Amino acid sequence: MEFRVIEHTADVGVEVKADSLSELFEGTALAMTSLMVDTSRVGKSVTRNVELEADDLDELMFMWLNEILYIVNTEEIIFCEFSVDVNGNRLEGSMRGEPLDFSKHEIKDEIKAATYHELTVKREGELWEVRVIFDV
């Protein structure tokens, strides 16, 4: 999995490429949280499970990323590890992290939401790719 940060006016985005659809969802979640904090400093004492279903892959990615942000904002937990199984337009996933601690987790970018603007999930040759812009 590889990702590249996209500068986008007042927002920020990422482009992620992965060998499988599940890796793409995992990698995009990690890319997003890496924009927020140094994920190498995040422990794995808390696990949250997620099940989502959408009409298409773009909507599923949108829902997945915003579900992570919802948990970050409401429970104040930051994540560093993601495990996802995508089957059709259904996702079952888990994420591991720890309670947000401002003395340990320096906030780099405060991401408010993933957006539909320029959001695309597609297969390009042997790789899966996504482009997503975040509202900061």
**Where in the sequence is the domain holding 116, given as residue range(s)?**
2-135
pLDDT, residue 109, reads 83
**DSSP character at residue 126:** T
Find the mean pLDDT for residues 121-134.
Answer: 95
Condensed to tens digits (0 to 9), the pLDDT of residues 78-117 reads 999 999 999 999 999 999 999 999 889 988 988 999 999 8
Q: Is the pLDDT of residue 8 over 80?
A: no
Query: CA 47 to CA 53: how far, in whole Å?
Result: 20
CA neighbor of 126 nearest in space, from 21, 33, 25, 26:
21
Q: How many domains does the chain have?
A: 1
Find the mean pLDDT for residues 117-130.
Answer: 95
Q: Is the pLDDT of residue 12 over 90?
A: no
pTM: 0.91
Condensed to tens digits (0 to 9), the pLDDT of residues 45-66 reads 999 999 999 999 999 999 999 9
CATH code for position 95: 3.55.10.10
Condensed to tens digits (0 to 9), the pLDDT of residues 19-41 reads 999 999 999 999 999 999 999 99
pLDDT, residue 11, reads 82
SS3 category, 16: strand
pLDDT, residue 41, reads 95
Query: CA 59 to CA 89: how far, in whole Å?
Result: 9
**DSSP character at residue 4:** E
pLDDT, residue 136, reads 85
Tokens linked to 87: 């089957």
Which amino acid is located at 117 in the chain?
H
